[in-house]
Structure 1
Amino acid sequence: MSLLPTQIANFLNTAYEYFSPPNSPVHRTQPIPISREPSKLSSPLNERLDAACQSPTTSLANLSPNSMRRELDITKHDLARAHVDTTRLEERCKMLERTLKETRELLRTREAELEKLRREREKERALAERRRSDTQYHLQHRSSANNLATYQRNGNSLDTRMGAADIARRMHLHDDGHGASRMRTPSPSHTFSPSTSPLNGNSRARSPSRSSTTSTSMSSSAGTSMSNGIGIGGPPPPNSNNIEEERARLRGAETYMSRIDTWSGAQVLQAVHDINSEILQFAASATEMCTFLPSSASKPQAFQETSTRIGPHMARILAARDHSTDPLLVQLALQGCLVQCVSRALASFCIGFPTKSDAVLAQIYAHMQRTEPQPTSAKWRALAHQHIHGIYPTLKDYSISELSDTILRWCADIFEVAHGHSFGPSSPLKSPSSSPPISISPPTSTLPQSLPLQLRALYLDQIRRISRAVLRLAAVTREEIMSTSFELTIPDPAGPFQHGEMIDAFGEYSESEGRVLATTELGLRCVTATGGGDFESRTLLQPKVVLESVLGVLDR
């Protein structure tokens, strides 16, 4: 027992005294001595206890197995959460690196575009300077040639020019006196006597040599003037007319070769964003105020026309689903309907112009785009568009009315296919054109009975505002921009989804798969003719679409 440590010895002595009976002879005798001094010898148990006492985790030695299991579970949970945080941070880091890479590529692309534009402007400036210098050189050269010809034609003698004037004046006086237009050519030996001189009848007679020389010079000068058709105070020489024609031709060429744009690409892009915003506000407001029936029979004519406009697949979905609780699909269909209508309107050469005449003008412009420089075809398009509206001053108002009526008719068909019943009173909505909230719906008693008439009464002003924005964008893209051509882009209904050319409106909630159901926002691209029938196209805004996968999102 002396080999045990002091703590073990004390524990054994206490246990022995407790379990020994009081009258036991053993109890009456002295207790068994146990050495309290630590043993000098080593044992496995001693080594383990010393290691436990010296370990930094001695606080865990006093814990129960349940407590230790709980601590282990907490530690595992912390480790799992740390692993999840690490994974999320790694994914975020990868996303930031990918975004940084895309941003760098975009910056490089923009720098390349800016460098290309700078080179084009420098080239245009150099061509303009060269054209100006060539024009000045030709003008100076022709002016010098005209001066030389005039000097050679008129001669170097002032007396000759005065003789020609005297001859003309004498002929005029002679015709007035005798009533006959005769011209006598003096011979070299003819001399003027005082009696034959109508200018000075009392003057002295001239000498034969002097008179003969003067008469010869005068007759030659008069003959030259009469043969050229130029008299005293006559029109300028033909060379000056050629100079004026050349100047007029150069001014016309400058008009057709100018690249001055009064609107920038950023302004056009903002105008498209504004139209998309107006379409979204109208679709959301109309869908919110409409009351839908759970199920009813759709009109065949409305279903057929809606199928040809937004696609048969979307029309079947609208007719088959119940929109009384969630009319989101109706809102998306309205957006797609307005986008299709606006895109068709802006695809024409002049909105509101007769279809056949507009098709002819569009073919002429397409041919000029392939065969003429970009500024020439753009200037022709601008002049043609301006003069069409100049000839028909009421064409703009007519186009706004026609486009508004078309949009209202298409939207009414969509509401009928989706089992819309009526537009009931709703909470006051905020008008897009004013800051305080106002009610855009009249009382129920003043609304017409028909659904299309109710739609017209409620939303005609808002639809006309969209139509005016479309007409303003058409005028800007056709008359104010010469360096390129801006075109709206929308994908074909029921076509496949193409990454990089369109954006999935619900891409954050599901995978982008399936066919295109509708286009909810317009896209924009600029097309520039590079010569030889080639075009350079650049996408500025990708259209936003709704795919078939949205049905799974709505059914969740």
Structure 2
Amino acid sequence: MNRDRSQAHSDLHKLRKTLDNYSARLEGSLAHSENLLKENKELRAKVKQIPDLIRQREALARDIEVAREESSTLRKEYGQMTALLDDRTSELKGAQSFLTTADTFSGTEVLNTLQRLNSEVLQHTAFIAESMIESYMPDKALMKTEKQMAGANRVSGVIGRTIVHFLGTKKHRDDPILVQIAFQAYFAHVLQWIACAWSIGGDETQNQLIDEIYEKVRDTEAQAISGRWRALTRGNMPRKQRDEPQLTSLLTTKILSGLVDILLAAGCNASQAELVTALSSKFGDKISFLVTLAVRVNKIVGEDVTSGDLEVLAVPPASLFDPASMEDVYNEASSGTGARVLCTTDLGLRKRVRVFMTGEKEKQWALTTLLKPKVALESVVEIMDD
């Protein structure tokens, strides 16, 4: 009986323990179920948010696409604005280059350069004349050869028939002053052309055409516009693929030919080739230097001064002497009314500025003579030996 009771207690204890285990497992299952329910609830809530999130994503995608389109549009507008700015900047620079009146060189600097050119011509022509006459002029006058007469004919169109006539009739052996004057006249002619040419060494027809165009521009436009037009045109003229040394050599050769013609007209008995060789070997560098100075004057008056037109002046042979616009280099007493110019010996300089756009044409311009050209008069020959 006691054993049965003990067995019953033991079984009951086991049952309680088992029940406790089931109870603990049940509580764990309930807790897990609650967690699952909670997660399920949260998932359901998130599932409900999915349509909203999808709508938000679609709206965001649309916003991004709009932003991309706007960015592309802005880039195009920026490119257009940049191009427009570049165009306007270029136009402004172009307008500024036309409207500026600031000169790179002053009138004084130009004047000094031209005076130096005149001084160098005087010194070199005196030396060349003395040296060449001493070497190649015969002691006695001889009959003119065909080559001498041909040289006289060629150069008479440049320095004038009167001085060429006297070159052939006067004695030069003891005093080569007339030959020197003829040299100065030839240099004045060529160096003035170099100083004023639109295209040095270019086609003379082209120079004349551009000069005619510029005359029209100058007559119709304000000084600032015409001055810049001249500077830009002169600066961009083609030079026929010649660099400065080649151009200087070409012009030096031209001058040598003219000086030889003067020596032939004066009666030198050497051949043309012999005279060219002698002049080139002895004086080629000096003549090249004069050409270089004249080219420098060309750039200054053509490109570097726009506030007015600087005109390099020479007086044509046989012109009436005018003391108001020229100077007698020998200060002759006869340089009065009726005296005629034999030739130009020194170049002059005048500044022309347009001050009015309307009214009488003569009064629209202000003319200032900065340097009178110097001339030798025909009467100077009278004091020379026959």
| Common fold by TM > 0.5 | yes
* Cα gap change, 1:478 to 1:201, in 2 (>3 Å): farther
Q: What is the CA deviation profile of residues 249-285 of structure 1, one whole-angstrom value per residue up to 9, with x for unaligned ones? A: 3333112211221211111001111111111112111
Q: What is the aligned partner in structure 2 of residue 379 from structure 1?
A: 228
The correspondence of residues 313-332 of structure 1 with structure 2, limited to 5 A, is 313-332=162-181
Q: What is the CA deviation profile of residues 465-503 of structure 1, one whole-angstrom value per residue up to 9, with x for unaligned ones? A: 111111111112222222112111111101111121111
Shift of 1:403: 1.4
Q: What is the aligned partner in structure 2 of residue 359 from structure 1?
A: 208
Q: What is the aligned partner in structure 1 of residue 381 from structure 2?
A: 551
Q: What is the aligned partner in structure 1 of residue 35 from structure 2?
A: none
Which stretches in structure 2 are left out of the alignment for 5+ residues?
Answer: 1-45
Correspondent of 1:499 among 303, 310, 323: 323
TM-score, structure 2 as length reference: 0.73
In the alignment, is the contact (CA less than 8 A) between 1:495 and 1:515 conserved in 2? yes
Q: What is the CA deviation profile of residues 316-375 of structure 1, one whole-angstrom value per residue up to 9, with x for unaligned ones? A: 111111222222111111111111111222232121123333333333333322223322
CA distance in 2, matches of 1:474, 1:324: 37
Shift of 1:522: 0.5
**More helix per residue:** 2
* Cα gap change, 1:201 to 1:279, in 2 (>3 Å): farther
Structure 1: which amino acid aligns with 2:174? T
Q: What is the CA deviation profile of residues 436-460 of structure 1, one whole-angstrom value per residue up to 9, with x for unaligned ones? A: xxxxxxxxxxxx9822322222111
Shift of 1:555: 5.2
Structure 1: which amino acid aligns with 2:375? V
CA distance in 2, matches of 1:508, 1:320: 22
* Cα gap change, 1:271 to 1:230, in 2 (>3 Å): same
State the secondary structure of the residue aligned to 1:420.
coil
* Cα gap change, 1:230 to 1:360, in 2 (>3 Å): farther
Is the counterpart of residue 540 in structure 1 residue 370 in structure 2? yes
Is the counterpart of residue 252 in structure 1 residue 252 in structure 2? no
Q: What is the aligned partner in structure 2 of residue 284 from structure 1?
A: 126
Q: What is the CA deviation profile of residues 27-53 of structure 1, one whole-angstrom value per residue up to 9, with x for unaligned ones? A: xxxxxxxxxxxxxxxxxxxxxxxxxxx
* Cα gap change, 1:243 to 1:466, in 2 (>3 Å): closer
Number of equivalent positions: 322
State the secondary structure of the residue aligned to 1:525.
strand
Q: What is the aligned partner in structure 1 of residue 153 from structure 2?
A: 304
In the alignment, is the contact (CA less than 8 A) between 2:231 and 2:304 conserved in 1? yes
* Cα gap change, 1:278 to 1:535, in 2 (>3 Å): same
CA distance in 2, matches of 1:511, 1:355: 35
Correspondent of 2:289 among 449, 462, 465: 465
Q: What is the aligned partner in structure 2 of residue 295 from structure 1?
A: 141
In the alignment, is the contact (CA less than 8 A) between 1:496 and 1:516 conserved in 2? yes
CA distance in 2, matches of 1:461, 1:241: 52
In the alignment, is the contact (CA less than 8 A) between 2:335 and 2:377 conserved in 1? no
The correspondence of residues 262-277 of structure 1 with structure 2, limited to 5 A, is 262-277=104-119
* Cα gap change, 1:241 to 1:409, in 2 (>3 Å): closer
The correspondence of residues 70-85 of structure 1 with structure 2, limited to 5 A, is none
Is the counterpart of residue 519 in structure 1 residue 344 in structure 2? yes
* Relative contact order higher in (CA < 8 Å, ≥ 6 apart): 2
CA distance in 2, matches of 1:241, 1:482: 31
CA distance in 2, matches of 1:420, 1:302: 11
CA distance in 1, matches of 2:75, 2:166: 85
The correspondence of residues 402-441 of structure 1 with structure 2, limited to 5 A, is 402-421=250-269
TM-score, structure 1 as length reference: 0.52
CA distance in 1, matches of 2:211, 2:122: 31
Shift of 1:204: 4.9
Aligned sequence identity (%): 26
In the alignment, is the contact (CA less than 8 A) between 2:196 and 2:302 conserved in 1? no
* Cα gap change, 1:380 to 1:297, in 2 (>3 Å): same
Q: What is the aligned partner in structure 2 of residue 62 from structure 1?
A: none
* Cα gap change, 1:225 to 1:245, in 2 (>3 Å): farther
Give RMSD over aligned pairs.
3.4
In the alignment, is the contact (CA less than 8 A) between 1:352 and 1:398 conserved in 2? no
Which stretches in structure 1 are left out of the alignment for 5+ residues?
Answer: 1-199, 424-447
Structure 1: which amino acid aligns with 2:264? E
